[in-house]
Amino acid sequence: MTTRIIGTGSYVPDQIVTNDDLAKIVETSDEWIRSRTGIGERRIATADSTSDMAAKAAQAALDQAGVRAEEIDLILLGTSSPDHCFPNGACEIQAHIGAVNAACFDISAACTGYVFALNTAHAFISTGMYRTALVIGADVLSKLVDWGDRGTCVLFGDGAGATVVRADERGILGMNMHSEGAKGGVLTCGSRSNGNFLLGKKPELGYMSMDGQEVFKFAVKKVPECITEVLASTGTPKEDITYFVIHQANYRIIESIAKRMKIDPARFPVNMEHYGNTSAASVPILLDEMNREGKFKPGDKIVLSGFGGGLTWGATLLEW
Ligand code: ACO
Residues 287 and 245 sit within 8 Å (Cβ to Cβ): yes
Which domains does the chain possess? 2-169 (3.40.47.10), 174-319 (3.40.47.10)
- For ligand 1, atom 7, the nearest C-alpha belongs to 150
**DSSP conformation class of 192:** B
Q: What atom in ligand 1 is closest to the CA of residue 151? A: 8
pLDDT in the model for residue 152: 95
pLDDT in the model for residue 161: 98
pLDDT block averages, 10 residues each, the chain of length 320: 97 98 97 97 97 98 98 98 96 98 98 98 97 98 94 97 98 98 94 84 87 96 98 98 97 97 97 98 98 97 98 98
pLDDT in the model for residue 203: 81
pLDDT in the model for residue 199: 87
Q: What atom in ligand 1 is closest to the CA of residue 282? A: 50
Rounded Cα distance between 38 and 40, Å, is 7
The model's pLDDT over 285-319, given as tens digits with 9 standing for 90+, comes to 999 999 999 999 999 999 999 999 999 999 999 99
Residue 38's SS3 state is: coil
Any idea how long the chain is? 320
Rounded Cα distance between 105 and 212, Å, is 30
pLDDT in the model for residue 205: 81
Rounded Cα distance between 266 and 259, Å, is 11
Q: Which residues are catalytic?
A: 111, 247, 277
- Name the burial class of residue 104, with classes exposed (0-12), middle (13-18) and buried (19+) by CB atoms within 10 angstroms of its CB: buried
Rounded Cα distance between 118 and 315, Å, is 10
CA 151 – ligand 1 centroid, Å = 5
- Name the burial class of residue 289, with classes exposed (0-12), middle (13-18) and buried (19+) by CB atoms within 10 angstroms of its CB: middle
The model's pLDDT over 237-259, given as tens digits with 9 standing for 90+, comes to 999 999 999 999 999 999 999 99
- Name the burial class of residue 2, with classes exposed (0-12), middle (13-18) and buried (19+) by CB atoms within 10 angstroms of its CB: middle
* CA angle in degrees (0–180, nearest 5) for 161-30-311: 45
Using CB distances shorter than 6 Å, the residues near ligand 1 are: 28, 32-33, 36-37, 111, 150-151, 154-155, 187, 210, 212-213, 215-216, 249-250, 277, 307-308
pLDDT in the model for residue 247: 98
